[in-house]
Amino acid sequence: MDWAAAEWTAGEVRLWPMHGDAEGAAITAPAGDDPVAALRAMLAPGVAIDVIAAGWPGTAPVRVPCPPPPPLPALALDPQVTLHRLPGLVQDRPADLIGAQATRIAGHLARHPDFDGVLCLPGPQSVWAQISAGEVVSFRSFLTGELLSALTASADESTGFAEAVQDALSRPAGLAAELSSVRARLALDRITPSDAHAQTAGLLIGAELAGARPWWLGQPVTVIGQGWLADRYAEALVLQGVTPAMADPTRALLDGFRAARRTL
């Protein structure tokens, strides 16, 4: 490999060996509190290599509004490994901070340089980013995915999502009470665990849409995500008359790494 791309997230390092612009299969390893040791163990010993990293702990973020930031000055981990850290983004009002999601935003803009609108990135920390003239103008993140994982177990076939979205959008102040009601109906065997999961997701995503309304109302929206949760965000937006485009989050991340590589 010519170089490597790495993402640190949720206590793991995910690494892609890169040959030019072509990526190899991803390798994932637990990092704990020492991502540097995890990174060294994933690389071939004795081979000098540049690693471009997103979400790296201790990396100073860049304040918005700004274009996607380039890598910070190189950091030599040892004679073989040179680390190029990609900054996250920070915002004062409202106070907010994102890490590796900033690289996905950069990757989407590298592939779609004329994009003007809003990017929605679902995940444990979902992000809504307003993009104009190649810059991130503002953003807002929500802990919806993290709350959903804490409240219910994932499930497949289910009902009640759309109704829950509309309930939370129309009455966001009642979110905590409605979540309690879902738990009560589940305990009383009036709904299945799958339905409880869908309805909890609908309430949380509906409340998020209410809070993020300035970012998506009247805007073209692209959801950078895959899987059940990303599909639910798209469904919730369609319920509000917004038909989002969909983008692959891994491709966006790798495009962000490739764009960063071209600046070195």
Task: Report pLDDT digits (tens) over 171-216.
Answer: 999 999 999 999 999 999 999 999 999 999 999 999 999 999 999 9
Q: At what angle do helices 161-170 and 193-211 cross, to 10 degrees?
A: 30
Cα–Cα distances in Å, from 215 out to 12, 53, 117, 200? 31, 28, 9, 23
Residue 123 inside a domain? The answer is: no
Do residue 80 and residue 12 come from a single domain?
yes
Same domain, 221 and 183: yes
255, 244 Cβ separation under 8 angstroms? no
- The band of 254, judged by pLDDT with boundaries at 50, 70 and 90, is very high
Residues 145 and 107 in one domain: no
Give me the chain's average pLDDT, please: 95
- The answer to whether residues 89 and 169 belong to one domain is no
The verdict on residue 130 lying in a domain is no
Q: Is residue 124 part of a domain?
A: no
Residue 120 lies in a domain: no
In a domain, 42, yes or no: yes
Instruction: With residue 81 as reference, give the H or E element that holds it.
Output: strand 81-86
Question: 199: domain range?
Answer: 141-247
Q: Of 209, 210, 178, which is closest to residue 196 (Cα–Cα)?
A: 178
Q: Residue 155 above 80 pLDDT?
A: no
pTM exceeds 0.85, yes or no: yes
Query: Is 258 within a domain?
Result: no
CATH code, domain with 158: 3.30.420.310
Rounded CA gap, 262 and 186, in Å? 53
In a domain, 158, yes or no: yes
What's the number of domains the chain is made of? 2
In a domain, 255, yes or no: no
Answer yes or no: do 156 and 238 share one domain.
yes
Whole-angstrom Cα distance, residue 3 to residue 51?
Answer: 6
SS3 71: coil
